[in-house]
Amino acid sequence: MALDGGEKKRDVIRFAPSPNGWLHLGHAYSAIFAYETAKSLGGRFLLRIEDIDVGRCRPEYEQGIYEDLAWLGLDWERPVRRQSEHFDDYEAALKRLRDMKVVYPCFATRKEIHDAIEASGIGHARWPVDPDGAPVYPGLYKDIDPAELNRLMWEGRSYAWRLDMEKALALAEEKAGGPLTFLEEAGGPRGQHGRLPIDPMLFGDVVIARKDVPTSYHLAVTVDDAIQGVTCVTRGQDLFPATYVHRILQVLLGLPEPRYRHHPLVRDETGRRLSKSAKDMGLRELRAHGITPAEVHRLAGI
């Protein structure tokens, strides 16, 4: 595709961390992977702050992201998009999904979901889990009577908006004229690459937004990538299955389809992947121990 004057459109790649903890070596790998991908493609490199979880995100963690990435020698375009400043964009996308009748309000508490699985006769040990390890939603409140729905709304009960995956997939395939696929240029967890099919039913009726926050990771990242013109999504292989949900949302909302490059995860000696929740050593601690940016780049292996 050429712009006026014959100029080739540049690829856009982003690194999108959440400021809910300090960056560790796994984040460094992902950031460097995205940055080097942008360089190799002659593209633009963006930084996005994914801070929709206002309860866990902290200003000091966000500042730490800027400091750590600058220490690594990375540079990015300004201004930085912060998701907490763009809830209107996500709410507009949610309204479109509501108008399509592919989402529904779910009032189920964790205890209700737990009890429903227990009462199913299948039990938790054999109940299916989604790619993130959570139990697949058992369908509570999915087809409740409209009068009951109105009563729960008037009571002010907390709820989440869930994507009716069966309806959403059927409508997306109708819009696309056939089964949905995505282009993987690097490789999935089992080495998959090329044009691949999606299997969103693995997630069941995934949460797409909440009463107090009009979005979720799935909706926000899909909308942001389109708004920012991201053409190549780079991220860890743990998010490979999330692409199934994102492709449905892209088709339903009429958004462009990016290419994907899912990279391997950084793991410790036992094979466990690094995480903030496990309090793995952050880049700021590595820096304090005298580790240089060049050593981090060597550790990242990019």
pLDDT-derived band at 3 (thresholds 50, 70, 90) equals very low
Tens-place pLDDT, residues 267-292: 555 544 545 454 556 788 888 878 88
Of 36-45, 183-192, 226-235, give the lowest mean pLDDT range.
Answer: 183-192
Query: Is-contact 64 22, C-beta < 8 A?
Result: yes
Structure-token match 């391997």, residue found = 264
Rounded to the nearest 10°, the torsion over CA 120, 124, 128, 130 is 130
Percent helix / strand / coil, the chain, rounded to 5 = 40, 15, 40
The answer, yes or no, to whether residue 66 has pLDDT greater than 50, is: yes
Give the pLDDT confidence score for residue 1 in this predicted structure: 40
How much is the average pLDDT of 21-40? 92
How do the domains of the chain map onto residue ranges? 1-84+267-302, 86-265
pLDDT tens digits, one per residue of 111-132: 999 999 988 888 888 999 999 9
pLDDT of residue 245: 98
Do strands 81-82 and 44-49 pair parallel, antiparallel, or not at all (unpaired)?
parallel
How far apart (Å, rounded) are the C-alpha atoms in residues 26 and 18? 13
Average pLDDT of every residue of the chain: 89
Q: What CATH number does the domain located at 86-265 have?
A: 3.40.50.620
Local confidence band at 98 (pLDDT 50, 70, 90 cut-offs): very high
Provide the angle, in degrees to the nearest 10, between the axes of the packed helices 242-253 and 217-227. 60
pLDDT tens-digit readout, 4-28: 555 578 999 999 999 998 888 889 9
Q: Please give the span between the terminal C-alpha atoms of the chain, in angstroms, as a whole number.
A: 30
Of residues 181, 271, 188, the one with CA closest to residue 237: 188
**Could you give the percent of the chain with pLDDT greater than 90?**
64
Burial tier of 301 (Cβ tally within 10 Å: 0-12, 13-18, 19+): exposed
Q: What per-residue confidence (pLDDT) applies to 279?
A: 54
Strands 259-263 and 160-163: unpaired
d(CA 141, CA 158) in angstroms, rounded, equals 13
Length of the chain: 302
What kind of fold does domain 1-84+267-302 have according to CATH? Rossmann fold (3.40.50)
Strands (E), 146-225: 160-163, 181-184, 194-197, 207-210
Nearest by Cα to 246 from 8, 16, 30, 77: 16
- CA geometry: angle at 163 spanning 211 and 149, to 5°? 55
Out of 249-258, 278-287, 292-301, least confident range:
278-287
Residue by residue, DSSP assigns 26-69 as HHHHHHHHHHHHHHHHT-EEEEEE----TTT--HHHHHHHHHHH
CB 129 within 8 A of CB 135: yes
Domain 1-84+267-302 and domain 86-265 have a common topology: yes
Summarize pLDDT for 131-152 with one digit per residue, the tens: 999 999 999 888 888 888 888 8
Task: Give the pLDDT of residue 212.
Answer: 85
Mean pLDDT computed over 199-217: 93
Q: Please, are residues 273 and 18 in contact by the beta-carbon 8 Å criterion?
A: no
Q: How far apart are CA 217 and CA 200, in angstroms?
A: 15
Distance CA 63, CA 240 (A): 28
**What's the whole-number mean pLDDT along residues 58-72?**
95
Share of the chain above pLDDT 70, in %: 91
Q: Which residues, including other chains, have CB under 8 Å from residue 147's CB and lie 6 or more apart? A: none
